[in-house]
Chains A and B, each alone.
Chain A
Amino acid sequence: MFENPEVAIDELPGTDDLGWQTLHPLYARRIRVQALIVLGIIVVAISAVNFLPHIPLLPIVVLYVLWSITAMVSLLWPGLSVPRRGYVLRDKDIVFRKGVIWQSVTAVPFNRIQHVETSNTPLDRRFGLATLQLFTAGGSGGDLKIDGLGKDIAERLRVFILDKAGASIENA
């Protein structure tokens, strides 16, 4: 039976007062640990250059200063950016927000999802984290990617979304 009820624009569900789900509490720490590893490698490289003969002092000092600024920013930034990230799972779509300076809210309807992927790096595994990626048609790497989910939550989301996406195909 085909139904086509009238819809009042003002009564469409909005996304203003959604209960945003936050990411895993260890996610910020994971980003910092990764940053520390990279920073460590860089500082080793700088000091190695430092020990070479005939290197003027000034560029090395500049490098160290740049390094400490980068270190400060990359260790403090997750404290700002991670709380801003969040997602909401709804009946027909998933909404994801992120950004400190440029804030964005992306919504992906389940009936447009082509496939779903979870992945984790060795570092992720140490913290029990995983990444969920949703692929829609024509996406050029810009598909929705949610980092820093708990491993079990990512898996549950994957199964749930896959189920929803599959159901929408059967109904179509």
Chain B
Amino acid sequence: MKTPDPGTWRRTSPFAILFFIGRILRLIAKNAWQSLAPLFALLVAYQGDLVSKLTLGGIAFGVVIATASLLSYWFFRYRISDDAILIRQGVIKKKQLDIKFDRIQGISTQQNPVYRALGLVTVNFDTAGSAGNEGNLPAVTRALADSLRARIGKNRIPADGAGSEAGVRAAALLRLDWRDMVRIGLADRRALIVFAVIGPLLERLGDDAERIIANYVERAADGAFQFGMAGGITIIIAVIVSVLLVLALISVGAAFLRFHNFELWLDGSTLRSQGGLLTRHEHSMDLGKIQTLRLQQGIVQRWQRRFRMTARQALASGKQRSGKVFMIPVVTAELADRLRARFLQPEAGRLTQDPRSDQFTAVSPYYMRSRILFIGLLPAVLVTVAFRESFGAAALFVMLWLPLVSAAAYRSWRRAGFAHDDDEIVRRSGLLGYRTVGLLFRKVQRVTVTQSRYQRRKGLASLRMHMASGSVRVPYIEHETAKRLRDYILYKVESSRQAWH
């Protein structure tokens, strides 16, 4: 008799039911709430005591969900064979999923508080060429996740002894503490979006405040009580400041939730991170798959002297818009350079991505001209002419747009620049903050040199390097430089024997 595969069909831990409950609820929230809403309405409209009906409905709903997740758990089985992981699931409609180990790009794990207490994790498999995760293994032990990870590591990098054993982890490259959480929270742009959303509410609040102030002022006038306008303004300022404070607090809280105890480390040639307060998020990216490295700095981060670093992987084919992004939420320029040297060694990583460095070559100042002309002067003149009749000389105020655009053009010209050596190029750009993008020449997919009429007259051109993760443009450089770079990139790509992905 032949010996079967070492693995046998197994069920995951019963705590996986939690995972299935979550999944069913999400499914209902996404798809089925329209069909449930009339049911709910019927329940309410039907005669009888509302409270008891709702209790009954709630119980019925709970029972249905519980049964469904219990069944999902019961029919979810998996097996780990020599070269693949096999998953069988589905209560009525059976689903079979076989994922070959060599197709798995990486594993990410999640841990909610209950799982953490029990040492369980939910494993997600990232596979190439699929939108999002394909497979999940809910509530398996940490040891199993680690052994799977080791298996995949072995498949991906044969003969590279550096792949760490399960459970043994290399020293962290970066650890974030509470000060970093505060930095992340304060620099988060989403706080502004929240502000925009509750803006109208704030206006209502403003109205109320006005009424209250008016009341006070009236009373002050009545009782010769010295309160006056100054007091009113103080109240308004206090309201605004406290709202901003609350927003900042929410934002910092979100940073704690997402990145608490964030750790970054290298596992062989795979970059990994882990962080999160309640649910631990774990991410990974193969160093060889990195297409571009980005360092970004907004206004707040400039004041903090910190950056956000992201590594981008190729876009999956098909409709998926954004490729996989590995994020390091907060780093200093020095650490970022040390990290990129680690990530790109031995072939590259000698350049710095620190925007303040003096290695960058400036682009031509003619860069400003088209911006001032087409974004500044042209609209300003058109609007002035259009409103001349109705507003008269006041229409000339529109011309104030021009110095604004000019200042912006000047700033973005000052920030634009590039630096390269034999293997890589770093482009710098920005308006209020800074952004630098670094890439390896040999990973370029195609190159375009473009010239407008004006650029032709001045002997300038723009170089665009298309990567698998999007394109990077170096604007307004000497035409000769652009052509030389293009020819060199083609040489690097065409003589490269390494995989670009």
Check A19 for interface membership: any CB of B closer than 8 A.
no
Residue of B nearest to A110 (CB): B494
Nearest Cβ distance between residue B183 and chain A, in whole angstroms?
32
Q: Is the CB of A139 within 8 A of B450?
A: no
Q: Is the CB of A15 within 8 A of B446?
A: no
Q: Is the CB of B446 within 8 A of A172?
A: no
Residue of B nearest to A101 (CB): B453
Q: B314 contacts which of A14, A16, A137, A142 (Cβ < 8 Å)?
A: A137
Bound together, the chains give a CA A171 to CA B466 distance in angstroms of 23
- Which residues 135-172 of A sit at the B interface, judged by CB distance below 8 A? 136-140, 142, 144, 171-172
Nearest Cβ distance between residue B368 and chain A, in whole angstroms?
19
Q: Is the CB of B469 within 8 A of A138?
A: yes
Beyond known contacts A9-B488, A138-B314: 13 more, CB 8 A cutoff: A12-B488, A104-B449, A104-B451, A106-B446, A107-B446, A107-B447, A111-B496, A137-B315, A138-B291, A138-B323, A138-B467, A138-B470, A140-B315
Nearest Cβ distance between residue A116 and chain B, in whole angstroms?
14
Chain B residues contacting A142 (CB-CB under 8 Å) are 466, 471
Q: Is the CB of A136 within 8 A of B445?
A: yes
Check A109 for interface membership: any CB of B closer than 8 A.
yes
Check B43 for interface membership: any CB of A closer than 8 A.
no
Check A7 for interface membership: any CB of B closer than 8 A.
yes
Could you list which residues of chain A lie within 8 angstroms of chain B, going by C-beta atoms? Answer: 7, 9, 12-16, 92-93, 99, 101-112, 136-140, 142, 144, 171-172
Residue of B nearest to A91 (CB): B494
| Size of interface on B: residues with Cβ below 8 Å to A | 37
Chain B residues contacting A16 (CB-CB under 8 Å) are 483
Residue of B nearest to A137 (CB): B468
Q: Is the CB of B446 within 8 A of A136?
A: yes
Chain A residues contacting B490 (CB-CB under 8 Å) are 92-93, 107, 109
Check B484 for interface membership: any CB of A closer than 8 A.
yes
Chain A residues contacting B469 (CB-CB under 8 Å) are 138
Tell whether A172 pairs with B499 under 8 Å between CB atoms, given A13-B487, A93-B494: yes
Check B493 for interface membership: any CB of A closer than 8 A.
yes
Check B130 for interface membership: any CB of A closer than 8 A.
no
Residue of A nearest to B493 (CB): A109
Bound together, the chains give a CA A112 to CA B484 distance in angstroms of 20
Q: Is the CB of B449 within 8 A of A105?
A: yes
Chain B residues contacting A109 (CB-CB under 8 Å) are 446, 490, 493-494
Bound together, the chains give a CA A7 to CA B492 distance in angstroms of 11
Chain B residues contacting A99 (CB-CB under 8 Å) are 450
Q: Is the CB of A92 within 8 A of B494?
A: yes
Residue of B nearest to A103 (CB): B451
Check B225 for interface membership: any CB of A closer than 8 A.
no
Chain B residues contacting A104 (CB-CB under 8 Å) are 448-451
Residue of B nearest to A143 (CB): B446
Q: Is the CB of A15 within 8 A of B487?
A: yes
Chain A residues contacting B467 (CB-CB under 8 Å) are 138
Check B10 for interface membership: any CB of A closer than 8 A.
no
Check B486 for interface membership: any CB of A closer than 8 A.
yes
Which of B314, B445, B447: most chain A CB closer than 10 A? B445
Nearest Cβ distance between residue B494 and chain A, in whole angstroms?
4
Chain B residues contacting A137 (CB-CB under 8 Å) are 314-315, 317, 445, 468, 500-501
Nearest Cβ distance between residue B487 and chain A, in whole angstroms?
5
User: Could you list some 9 contacts between A and B, CB below 8 A?
Assistant: A12-B484, A13-B487, A15-B483, A107-B448, A109-B494, A136-B446, A136-B468, A137-B445, A139-B466
Q: Is the CB of A107 within 8 A of B452?
A: no
Give 1 or 0 for each of B463-501: 1 = CB within 8 Å of chain A CB: 000111111000000000001101110110110111111
Bound together, the chains give a CA A106 to CA B471 distance in angstroms of 13
Chain A residues contacting B453 (CB-CB under 8 Å) are 101-102
Q: Is the CB of B446 within 8 A of A108?
A: yes
Chain B residues contacting A7 (CB-CB under 8 Å) are 491
Nearest Cβ distance between residue B452 and chain A, in whole angstroms?
5
Nearest Cβ distance between residue A101 and chain B, in whole angstroms?
5
Bound together, the chains give a CA A140 to CA B471 distance in angstroms of 10
Chain B residues contacting A144 (CB-CB under 8 Å) are 446
Chain B residues contacting A101 (CB-CB under 8 Å) are 452-453
Chain B residues contacting A172 (CB-CB under 8 Å) are 497-499
Bound together, the chains give a CA A13 to CA B317 distance in angstroms of 32
Bound together, the chains give a CA A58 to CA B314 distance in angstroms of 55
Q: Which 5 pairs of residues, A with B, have the shortest CB-CB distance?
A: A138-B468, A137-B468, A104-B450, A136-B445, A92-B494
Bound together, the chains give a CA A138 to CA B452 distance in angstroms of 26
Tell whether A12 pairs with B323 under 8 Å between CB atoms, given A112-B500, A136-B466: no
Bound together, the chains give a CA A42 to CA B265 distance in angstroms of 63
Q: Is the CB of A14 within 8 A of B483?
A: yes
- Which residues 299-314 of B sit at the A interface, judged by CB distance below 8 A? 314
Q: Is the CB of A106 within 8 A of B448?
A: yes
Bound together, the chains give a CA A72 to CA B196 distance in angstroms of 48
Residue of B nearest to A100 (CB): B453
Nearest Cβ distance between residue A117 and chain B, in whole angstroms?
14
Chain B residues contacting A107 (CB-CB under 8 Å) are 446-448, 486, 490
Bound together, the chains give a CA A98 to CA B500 distance in angstroms of 28
Which of B446, B469, B471, B493: most chain A CB closer than 10 A? B446
Bound together, the chains give a CA A111 to CA B491 distance in angstroms of 12
Q: Is the CB of B445 within 8 A of A139?
A: yes
Check B456 for interface membership: any CB of A closer than 8 A.
yes
Bound together, the chains give a CA A71 to CA B256 distance in angstroms of 62
